[in-house]
Structure 1
């Protein structure tokens, strides 16, 4: 068995999700266009967030998977699929974040690979998209390791941290994914 496994969030994950987000608040928020409100960092808000994720998954609006260490079931990150578009596109955009302490170990690439398999096989997407700021070299490496290819550059696409930021556009097609 591998170092990590993915699964949809459960209400019982709320405490670990709160701990992960508090521990990595500055790291995670740096890359977010919309920052969480201060009251987001409570157990109640994390429970509400998980309930919303579960509801979104049931209604095919978005999917969220916790990334857990196999050895101790510790939550260390997540991979999500948002902006779901069904026929004729059958596409979604993925995003991911990992506890800073675990960066640089290949864990996120494995998590994105596992998520891609689930999204292609279980949820029947044809195309996965991702957008990354050019300065986010680690995130670019994750996508490249999984087989995403660069498709272009969206100039001044999102307003983040007081500036309009460019984003590199990536995509992975189901027929290009290496199912192993």
Structure 2
């Protein structure tokens, strides 16, 4: 059955790895990497900071609109799109409203801060600059609505996380309307 997935969480939560592994499990799928749209900006990019400048928020919302549009186009073409991006706070419900295709499944990867710090140290790319893990984790847990499926993936492998997402897909589905 076709559906749209949104895999979100803080940086180094495992979004890219889990989204790719999930896409590889499905017969017709597309991995929509939200961060790729941010990297398309050559000059004038504004990164999100803890201060939350207006221009950075405008660009983040642009990135989310593009990702949601790409998801809808892939879905209309017969694919199951898996969108992966940092979508926190009020932006989570806003993003869910941008995706027109249904069913939409929202999965929040929420490993504990210690696991995120360990993953950040162990990976080749660096996500944290203006933010600390504790700050972004606080934003996730304090400001992000507890909608759909939240998973503590601190002790899970990506394969185990994918299995849990597939087993609990009904809990991730955003109600229509």
TM-score if structure 1 supplies the norm length?
0.32
Higher strand share: 1
**Higher RCO (CA < 8 A, seq sep 6+):** 2
